[in-house]
């Protein structure tokens, strides 16, 4: 990967059109024998590139509706993924494995997360307004500070989930007396 490609990936990751002029990229030192094999690193890198392309196309689709493609992450294994502040509103993420993923402060408004595995995921401060989380596995997930207005939690597994009573009542459209 060259410097231009690395900067492009950073722009996509942080959803910005330009990086500051003084941005300096530093090459990561190679790992020793105890590190990951080149093959494992290559597979992970390929998945990251694929995800970056999907997110970039999704961003274009959101912006004007004419170009780009709605993000389709159905049934993908994204376990342990770290993409805080991700912008994936209206994305189709049904049945994806996002266990132990870091999606803190992500924008997942109106996303389709039906039967998604979000066990142990960090969704702290995420915007899940209008998202469909029916049949989702949210065991031990962190939802503190998450926006849940209009979120569908039908048959979602919330065992051990960290969520404020107020947020849960909002998601379930409970009325206070």
| Residue 14 DSSP SS3 | coil
Per-residue pLDDT 10s for the chain (177 aa) are 567 777 677 666 666 666 566 666 666 665 555 555 677 777 667 777 888 899 999 999 999 877 899 999 999 999 999 999 999 999 999 999 999 999 999 999 999 999 999 999 999 999 999 999 999 999 999 999 999 999 999 999 999 999 999 998 888 887 665
Q: Which domains does the chain have, with CATH numbers?
A: 1-24+38-70 (no CATH), 72-177 (2.160.20.80)
Helix or strand run (H / E) with residue 53: helix 38-64
How far apart CA 126 and CA 98 sit, in angstroms, is 14
| Residue 132 DSSP SS3 | strand
Q: What is the DSSP letter of 35?
A: S
């Amino acid at each position: 990967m060259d410097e231009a490609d690395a900067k492009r990936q950073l722009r996509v990751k942080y959803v910005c059109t330009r990086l500051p002029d003084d941005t300096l990229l530093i090459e990561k030192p190679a790992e020793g024998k105890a590190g990951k094999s080149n093959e494992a690193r290559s597979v992970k890198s390929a998945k990251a590139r694929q995800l970056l392309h999907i997110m970039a196309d999704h961003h274009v689709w959101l912006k004007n509706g004419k170009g780009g493609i709605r993000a389709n992450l159905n049934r993908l294994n994204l376990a342990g993924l770290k993409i805080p502040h991700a912008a994936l509103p209206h994305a189709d993420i049904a049945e994806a494995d996002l266990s132990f993923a870091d999606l803190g402060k992500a924008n997942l408004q109106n996303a389709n997360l039906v039967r998604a595995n979000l066990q142990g995921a960090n969704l702290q401060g995420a915007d899940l307004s209008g998202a469909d989380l029916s049949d989702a596995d949210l065991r031990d997930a962190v939802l503190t500070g998450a926006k849940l207005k209009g979120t569908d939690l039908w048959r979602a597994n919330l065992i051990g989930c960290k969520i404020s009573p107020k947020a849960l009542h909002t998601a379930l459209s409970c009325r206070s007396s």
